[in-house]
Structure formats: C-alpha cells, structure tokens
Chains A and B, each alone.
Chain A
Amino acid sequence: MSAGENGDSAGRINGIKSALRVIPNFPKPGIMFQDITTLLLDPKAFKDTIDLFVERYKHETISVIAGIEARGFIFGPPIALAIGAKFVPLRKPKKLPGEVISEKYILEYGSDCLEMHVGAVESGDRALIVDDLIATGGTLCAAMNLLERAGAEVVECACVIEVPELKGRERLRSHGKPLYVLVESQFVPSS
C-alpha cells in the first residue's frame, strides 16, 4: 500500500516528493541515490512525513518501533515518541554495547549483519520497522527476523521511499509482511 490515497495526504506527499533529491553515481557508477537529507532541511515536509506515519499507526497498538542504522534512526524515534512506543535501534556489528542477537544477510556481493539488544523486545510486542528506503528488502528481512526471534510480531515495514524495480515489496510478501511507503523512487537528478 502507498500513501496518497486520501485527498489531504496527496498535497503532503507531493511536498515530500519535491523535497527529495537524486544523486547520480553514488555510492558507485550507475546507482541513482535517493537522498532524504534535503527532506530534513524542509521542516514542513519533514513534519508531514512523520505525521503521515503517525496517522497510520497510532491506533494499531504498536509497542516497538525498530529503526535501521543509520537513516532509520532519523525517522523512527519521532514516530515512536508520537505513538508512545519504545524505540529500538538495529545496528551494524559491534556498535551496540552489551548482549546482542545477530542476523546475517546476503548482499549483492558478500554478506552483512544486523544486531539488536537482548531484552529490548519482549514476546507479544507489536513492532513496526522503519528505514528511509527499501530496495531489495534484504535489510528489512534481516530486521524482521531479529524481531521475530525475540518473540515480537512485525505488523508492517514502513519506508519513505520504495525502489520498485528491486522488488523489495515482493520479498516482504514472501516473508508474509506488508510494506507501506510514501513515495516511489525518482530518476531525474534534481539540482
């Protein structure tokens, strides 16, 4: 499901989309990088982004927002604060102090690993996973595995941007979980 299906959301979505920028050939040639930092420079657009997520989740009895390092840390906490949920950072290896559980996942070349604190999440917690963008869905699936191993129920994954060609939505569907995004990726580099 995408946002923008409500009359009054459409205006906010358009404002958010216009605040994003595309950086060609980052981090390597051929990649059109969807940059959310320009969204963060627009207080109204940033607030609208958070509000759209909060409106969707505030009555869903979400007890945990898990944010994926590092751009998920920018969007997740304001959503958590607004809906009264815990915020749990999901981090690259060796960043979290104390006891963690780890989930390895496959990249195009090689593998990576995501960690979560033991005890951050309890059996019965209802969780939302937040990141700035979904591409293949590999990182989100690793995140979902961490939360489910801790006994939480993942309600949905929420991102600002989706890159549809990379089929992340389908990958999440194979995991049995829905995806909610505000905008789809753009191809035109903006100045």
Chain B
Amino acid sequence: MSAGEKDGSVDRINGIKSTLRVVPDFPKPGILFLDITTLLLDPKAFKDTIDLFVERYKQRDISVVAGIEARGFMFGPAIALAIGAKFVPLRKPKKLPGEVISEKYVLEYGTDCLEMHLGAVEPGERALVVDDLVATGGTLCAAMNLLERAGAVVVECACVIEVPELKGRERLRLHGKPLYVLIESRFEPTSC
C-alpha cells in the first residue's frame, strides 16, 4: 500500500516528493541515489512525513519502532515518540555495547550483518521497522528476523521511498509482511 489514497495526504505527499533529490553515480557509477537529506531541510515536509506515518500507526498498538542505521534513525525516533513506543536501533556490527543478537544477510557482492540489543524487545511486542528507503528488501528482512527471533510480531515495514524495480515489496511479501511507503522513486536527476 502506498500513501496518497486519502484526502489531505496527496498534497503532503507531493510536497515531500518535491523535496527529494537524485544524485547520479553514487555510491558508484550507474546508481541513481535517492537522497532524503533535502527533505530534512524542509521543516514542513519533514513534519508531514512523520505525521503521515504517525496517523497510520497511532492506533495499531505498536510498542516498538525499530530503525535501521543510519537513515532509519532520522525517522524512527520521531514516530516512536509520537505514538508512545520504544525506539530500538538496529546497527552494523560492533556498534552496540553489551549483549547483542546478530543477523547476517546477503548483498549483491558479499554479506553484511545487522545487530540488535538482547532484551530490547520482548516476546509479544508489536513492532514497526523503519528505514528511509527499500530497494531489494534484504536489510528489512534481516531486521524482521532479528525482531522475530526476539519474539516480537512485525506489524509492517515503513519507508519514505520504494524503488519498485528492485522488488523489495515482493521479498517482504514472501516473508509474509506488508510494506508501506510514501513515495515511489523516479529516475530523473533533479537539481537541488
């Protein structure tokens, strides 16, 4: 499901979309990088982004918002604060102090790993996973695995942007979980 299907959301979505920028050939040639930092420079658009997520989740009994390092940290905490949920950072290896659980996942070339604190999440908790963007869905699946290994129920994954060609939505569907995004990517590079 994407936002924009209710009255009042459409204008906010258009405003948010207009603040995003595409940076070509980053981090390597051929990649059109979708940059959310210009959204963060627009207080109204940033507030609208958070409000759209909060409106969707505030009555869903979400007790945990898990944010993926590092851009998930820019959106997750504000959502958690507004809905009264805990915020749990999911981090690259060796960043979290103390006892962690780790989930390895496969990249195009090689593997990576996501970690969560032991005890951050309890069995039966209802969790939302937040990141700025979903591409292949590999990182989101690793995040969901961490939360489920700790006994939580993942209610949904929420991102600002989806890159449909990379089929993250289908990958999450295989995992049995829905995806909610505000915007689908476009590929025309825009000037800032």
Contacts and interface: CB of A to CB of B under 8 A. Distances in A.
Interface of A: 21, 23, 26-27, 33, 35, 37, 40-43, 46-47, 50, 69-71, 73-75, 77-78, 80-81, 84-89, 91, 94-98, 117, 119-120
Interface residues of B, number: 39
Given A43-B84, A69-B70, A97-B23, A89 B40 contact: yes
A117 B75 CA distance: 19
B53 interface: no
A85 B47 CA distance: 10
At the interface, is chain A mostly helix, strand, loop or mixed? mixed
Contacts, number: 106
A88 B42 CA distance: 10
Contact of B192 (A86, A95, A98): A98
Nearest to B192: A119
Contacts of B85: 43
Nearest to B73: A73
Contacts of A42: 86
Interface in B80-117: 80-81, 84-89, 91, 94-98, 117
B97 to A, nearest CB: 4
Given A46-B81, A81-B50, A74 B87 contact: yes
A120 B37 CA distance: 9
A89 B74 contact: yes
B43 A73 contact: no
Given A37-B88, A40-B89, 6 more contacts: A26-B98, A40-B86, A43-B84, A70-B70, A73-B74, A88-B41
